[in-house]
Amino acid sequence: MENTLRKVFIGKVDEMPLRLGKTIVIDDKEIAVFKLANGDIRAIQNRCPHKGGVLAEGMVSGEHVFCPMHDWKISIVDGQVQAPDEGCVETYKVEVDQNNVYINLAN
């Protein structure tokens, strides 16, 4: 059976904090949502692959978030941990439609 995507409303663009993370829980997934300085909204898994740090509480710089536990640098765009550390987190497709923000999740 093919996976289908469902679009889940998570808030309004103007409610998203700039350069700060926001935790969203959908079903059993905890997702960190970020509104970047350029206005882009990105969503990634909310746990660092190293020791499970809450990424929504990390410092945002450009298109990266720094894990608040051990300062791992993780791309908010593709989920890749930056060298010399290794790993990745899941990323989620975000859609904006007339000030409404949605995350696409597989069913």
27-37 pLDDT tens trace: 899 999 999 98
Whole-number pLDDT of residue 2: 58
Per CATH, domain 5-106 is 2.102.10.10: yes
Q: How confident is the model over 46-56, as a mean pLDDT?
A: 93
Q: What is the pLDDT of residue 17?
A: 87
Q: Which two tokens stand for residue 70?
A: 């051990």
Domain range summary for the chain, segments of one domain joined by +: 5-106
* Cα separations in angstroms, 23 against 2, 31, 42: 28, 6, 12
Query: At residue 63, does pLDDT exceed 60?
Result: yes
CA dist 61 and 75 (Å) reads 10
Complete edge-to-edge strand list for the sheet that includes strand 59-61: 59-61, 64-66, 73-75
Strands 5-12 and 100-106: antiparallel
The whole-angstrom distance between residue 55's C-alpha and the CA centroid of its chain comes to 8
Q: Is the pLDDT of residue 16 over 70?
A: yes
- Amino acid at position 81, single letter: V
